[in-house]
Amino acid sequence: MQRASTARGTAAGSGAALVLLAFVSLFLPGASGSGGGGRKMALGGEARGVVSRYLNNKGANVEAAAPPPPRRAPAPSPPVVASPGQFRGQARLPRFAAPRRYDLRLRPDLVACTFTGAAAVTVAVSAPTRFLVFNAADLSVDRASIRFRDLAPKEVVFFDDDEILVLGFSNDLPLGEGVLSMKFNGTLNDKMRGFYRSKYKYKGQMKNMAVTQFESVDARRCFPCWDEPAFKAKFKLTLEVPPGMVALSNMPIANQIVTGPVKTISYEESPLMSTYLVAIVVGLLEYIEGVTPEGTKIRVYTQVGKSNQGKFALDVGVKSLHLYKDYFGTPYPLPKLDMVAIPDFAAGAMENYGLVTFREVALLFDEESSSESSKQNIAITVAHELAHQWFGNLVTMEWWTHLWLNEGFATWMSHLAVDSFFPQWNIWTQFLDDTTAGLKLDSLEESHPIEVEIHHASEVDEIFDAISYDKGASVIRMLQNYLGAERFQKALASYIRKFAYSNAKTEDLWAVLEEKSGEPVKNLMTTWTKQQGYPVINAKLKGNYLELEQAQFLLDGSFGHGMWIVPITAGCGSYDMQKKFLLKGKSDRLDIKDIASQCGNQVKGGNFWIKLNINQTGFYRVQYDDKLSAALQNALQSKKLSVMDKIGIVEDSHALSMACKQTLTSLLRLLYAYREEADYSVLSHINIVSLSVAKISVDATPGLVGDIKQLLIKILLPPSVKLGWDPKDRESHLDALLRPVLLVALVKLGHDKTINEGVRRFGIFVHDRNTSLLPPDTRKAAYLAAMQNVTSSYRVAYNDLLKVYRESDEAEEKARVLSTLCHCKDNNIVLESLNLLFTNEVRSQDAYYVLQGLDVESRETAWLWLKGSWDRIAKKYTDTQEGGFIRYIVTLFSSNEKAEEFSGFFATRKKPEFQRALKQSLENVRVSARWIQGIRSEPRLAQTVQELLRRP
């Protein structure tokens, strides 16, 4: 699944793929108990009280369950106490029975937004038991319809907190296979999880589309099932839909029959797969089609009238399947692949086997209205999801602890693929965006290991984050660099072949890599996956020796107790020769002649420099002593360092400054050394660091903030002037990405000339939407500029932006507008924009676009709004989305007093689903508070700023 993350290049550009947060499944309060013959048991709040047109539902006589016992680790063997309650609070379902095949029939009602269903599941009983235990949530199950081997259960008990249904029979069940059948119904919900509805316009009228999103634990909201990755089974689906509707599932259609108002479609039986990969889409759709060199048919489905916007994604999809077939040494396993653009979709995209679903903005590209950053994001997203067809779908993680095997590898593979298709994009340099995101989150005490223990289904959602994705992908890149690309590829292909159609753990991957490479992969990588955090390597020059010492890096300035086996790479004076070795202990000492033969003779020369972590292939930071740091800065100014190393140096310096291990004064001097930089990737990182410095200076040095912003403008303005506002003929993809990054930064820093030009161009655009003066790439900068002058009494530009939003049918343009509405000095306008989140004008998936427009000036208004609106937020949005609200607003602050205020407010409003987000947000506030104190103690900061401003 492509989590909803900030897409590179878009943050300061179109705003289209910004902050696509993964709103993963959450359980709703329900009821538990057992009923008498013929009664239905209501499973979950939304389905309770739904009257089915197809099943005889005369109400549920359901007793409230007792409070659940504390959650505990699963028993190592089948329990012996013969009571349904023994299965409560377990991390996983018992293993004494497992599904082999699901025969499912579903009938969605797109008007009433309900669905009915029937399941016949072939179940293999492998150990003595009188119970069957499986998952169900938000469903009404017809108790009278439940049969296993023609036996009716004696007990039918639903445990709401655990989302399990326990069937108790009078006697032990026969060993071997039998069929479990039942009927059920539910609601097509508005939560973008399970079986839900998405709204779209067709010929001016609103229509409903039925869509599934099952990862991580939401298949149980569509049909009763063993909803864990290890319970792989085959699926045979039948759908009953209106004749005019397109109905898609994982497999091709086997046959279909129209009988009056119902079209019955049967699909081919699937190969073995996990429940979270089952998918259904029903709606009015059209498609375009392509074929891979191997003959696999690929289609891109869209709303009617938008199919042409799927051409770019289709091209990337065809190329990706072909590339992965060769890389993994295994053909694509299914007979077809569909990619579908969904108007309401929580994540960025989802890799359902053979039926991949996307947000519209992550799949559709229009040459006239889409930005260049959107094009790149689409390529990466498509390549990510199609990599999952092998790494995730064909070979599936055994349990959610190993989620990173899916997401880390898909993230890494997507860059490998896109680099092959578009080498001019320098995508491996841009990959450092992912590494930076992983390093940032993993420097918090409230981070977690790559392999994190999952003790209950409600905990899964929180690990779809920068650790599983970005750190996971980064340590894979580190390992590939250590082993070598060819050895690594051959070992991966062996792993895929060995575990095809089954499940694997992290240890299984290490075993294959170790066997094929002959390297101690398990010992090396276990230090990176089983403990959280990463090291900072302290490098000191003592005579002709380089002394290295590792310590866990934490943003709060403390050092943890972690210890890693670190693949060190080092270069001296050039990139011609590099030293590679493993730092296995706390410290080590190198003769610098061992790094490069000429290095020992250069220590006193002007060409001497030593760089560790060459091209940032390692997941660690480096802190150099003063002499080494000065030499690197000279090398930087002399243009002797690679683009990747330029990024690594400034990112490490920024993090060390935040942790008060280096001064802001030294960071500003380093930033100034980049004033002649022209590379997109480097400048995008300089931009992020610059805006971070501008933000912290508001609280740390309010009297100096204006001068600091002028210094940052001085650094970013020259490349922006060179690029200008207007695209050049045949300019590079990277220049097209860089232009909006710089323009948006200059507007946010208050550069008057850029703001005035943005306002001018916006005025022309309002009256002529097709003007060449404001193409998609630069619109966000103009929109932000226009918002600078908006007040309650002068709101013309604000009204114009709302008009653009309401009249646009493009998801990217809508996101672009929403992301600018809160960037305003008038708090009444900020409040008005925030309150749009409670209207039908903003899709739930798009709430975070509005929040990401908030800044330091509007933070108090936003916090008061959050407190006063919390009950409404909790009612309208999912628990995971609530965590996003917290993260966006709380992290705008930077004082310990505010952290205490936030803690007090949420003390009575805690939910497991956003507990990690809250703790991480509070930690970030305290880190900022400590950084401020460090900055205030710097004696030469003001003098340095003035000195740099005076330089020609």
Q: Distances in Å between the alpha carbon of 664 and those of 557, 645, 656? A: 15, 20, 9
- Dist. CA 133–CA 951, nearest whole Å: 73
The pLDDT assigned to 22 comes to 34
pLDDT digits (tens, 9 = 90+) for 532-559: 999 999 999 999 899 999 999 999 999 8
Going by pLDDT thresholds of 50, 70 and 90, the confidence category of residue 594 is: confident
**Annotation says 900 is catalytic:** no
* Residue 876: strand, helix, or coil: helix
Mean model confidence pLDDT for the chain: 91
For residue 19, pLDDT over 60 is answered with no
C-alpha torsion sign, points 230, 232, 238, 239: positive
pLDDT digits (tens, 9 = 90+) for 780-793: 999 999 999 999 99
Going by pLDDT thresholds of 50, 70 and 90, the confidence category of residue 111 is: very high
Going by pLDDT thresholds of 50, 70 and 90, the confidence category of residue 279 is: very high
Q: Distances in Å between the alpha carbon of 615 and those of 384, 541, 619? A: 23, 21, 11
Percent of the chain scored above 70 by pLDDT?
91
The pLDDT assigned to 603 comes to 57
The pLDDT assigned to 670 comes to 97
Nearest Cα neighbor of 94 from 207, 230, 244 is: 230
pLDDT digits (tens, 9 = 90+) for 205-254: 999 999 999 999 999 999 999 999 999 999 999 999 999 999 999 999 99
Going by pLDDT thresholds of 50, 70 and 90, the confidence category of residue 845 is: very high
- Dist. CA 572–CA 636, nearest whole Å: 13
Cα 45 to its chain centre, rounded Å, is: 28
Amino acid letter, residue 709: K
Q: Do the Cβ atoms of 192 and 843 come closer than 8 Å?
A: no
For residue 895, pLDDT over 80 is answered with yes
The answer for residues whose C-beta is within 8 angstroms of residue 725's C-beta and 6 or more apart is 739, 743, 757, 761, 773, 778
Percent of the chain scored above 90 by pLDDT?
86
pLDDT digits (tens, 9 = 90+) for 686-729: 999 999 999 999 999 999 999 999 999 999 999 999 999 999 99
The pLDDT assigned to 14 comes to 39
The pLDDT assigned to 891 comes to 98
Please give the annotated binding residues for Zn(2+), written as ranges. Answer: 384, 388, 407
For residue 196, pLDDT over 90 is answered with yes
Q: Can you tell me which residue has the tokens 């802190």?
A: 623
The pLDDT assigned to 456 comes to 82
List the single range of 443-447, 595-599, 941-945 with lowest mean pLDDT: 595-599
Residue 694, Cβ density class (10 Å: 0-12 exposed, 13-18 middle, ≥19 buried): buried
For residue 872, pLDDT over 60 is answered with yes
Going by pLDDT thresholds of 50, 70 and 90, the confidence category of residue 457 is: confident
Q: Distances in Å between the alpha carbon of 728 and those of 725, 731, 737, 772, 806? A: 9, 5, 13, 12, 31
Q: Which residue has the higher pLDDT, 560 or 180?
A: 180
pLDDT digits (tens, 9 = 90+) for 621-671: 999 999 999 999 999 999 999 999 999 999 999 999 999 999 999 999 999
Nearest Cα neighbor of 166 from 88, 263, 79, 51 is: 88
For residue 73, pLDDT over 70 is answered with no
Q: Which residue has the higher pLDDT, 550 or 20?
A: 550
- Dist. CA 924–CA 888, nearest whole Å: 11
Going by pLDDT thresholds of 50, 70 and 90, the confidence category of residue 44 is: very low
Nearest Cα neighbor of 591 from 547, 550, 553 is: 547
Catalytic pick among 228, 240, 385, 757: 385
Burial letters 190-200, b for 16+ CB under 10 A, else e:
ebbbbbbbbeb
The pLDDT assigned to 607 comes to 79
Torsions phi, psi for 708 (to 5 deg)? -60, -40
Residue 196 carries which DSSP code? E
* Residue 358: strand, helix, or coil: strand
Please give the annotated binding residues, written as ranges. Answer: 384, 388, 407
Torsions phi, psi for 367 (to 5 deg)? -60, -30
CB atoms under 10 Å from CB of 473, counted, come to 27
